[in-house]
A and B are shown apart, each in its own frame.
Chain A
Amino acid sequence: QKEVEQNSGPLSVPEGAIASLNCTYSDRVSQSFFWYRQYSGKSPELIMSIYSNGDKEDGRFTAQLNKASQYVSLLIRDSQPSDSATYLCAVNGVNTGFQKLVFGTGTRLLVSP
């Protein structure tokens, strides 16, 4: 079983729509959850972190965490063509001393004008 699973996509949405990106993880003791954005050929850029069940909002981004279901999601409101990128879900936890981020393979998002 993969540790962090994401649908590879592409997820295609029109400009102005809400993009919903999902991630599941297998390790129940995972503590912290991160969303990174990665443009083609570039490095991961941290956009959201979430540690508690529920929603966390930052501008157009909302992260949602449900530890019971081992599920974390990212909503992007008012999607822009510049949001077109691969979104990486990453988790860490006490089993690794919080040192190691375990990444999913990422979901490619395409926002069409």
Chain B
Amino acid sequence: EPEVTQTPSHQVTQMGQEVILRCVPISNHLYFYWYRQILGQKVEFLVSFYNNEISEKSEIFDDQFSVERPDGSNFTLKIRSTKLEDSAMYFCASSDTPREYNEQFFGPGTRLTVL
């Protein structure tokens, strides 16, 4: 069964460093998302992406964050200058329709630890 994959599974970085989290969405899906979950808290929407542009972003997704689809399969989240509070699980998701029946399928996540 097709699934979303993410790399790395765990990333440790120093505060102020740049990180890139990678995702390979399900192959026939066109809509891509990033969510994060701080330990013990709820899953929070960061950004949605379609047709090579951001379609919606949350207030969390500030100028330190960017997304890109560098080729036909990868979808990346970059954090330019990490802060301690960026430590969280980051989940990539994809779906094949943005409309009301928008079932989003999540990848296994990347655990980001900022020291």
Contact = CB atoms under 8 A, between A and B. Distances in A.
Interface of A: 31-32, 34, 36, 42-46, 49, 51, 88, 90, 92, 94, 96-106
Contact of B98 (A42, A90, A99): A99
Interface stretch (B36-44, B69-77, B78-86): B36-44
B113 interface: no
Contacts of B107: 43
Given A43-B108, A100-B56, A88 B102 contact: no
A43 B55 contact: no
Contact of A88 (B43, B99, B101): B43
Between B35, B42, B55, B107, the greatest number of chain A beta carbons within 10 A of the residue's beta carbon is seen for B42
A45 B89 CA distance: 15
A34 B99 contact: no
A105 B48 CA distance: 21
6 contacts: A31-B100, A45-B106, A46-B106, A96-B56, A101-B43, A105-B41
B104 interface: yes
A44 B33 CA distance: 13
Given A43-B91, A51-B101, A98-B100, 9 more contacts: A34-B103, A42-B109, A43-B109, A97-B55, A98-B98, A102-B45, A103-B42, A103-B44, A106-B42
Given A103-B42, A105-B42, A98 B102 contact: yes
Contacts of B101: 32, 49, 51
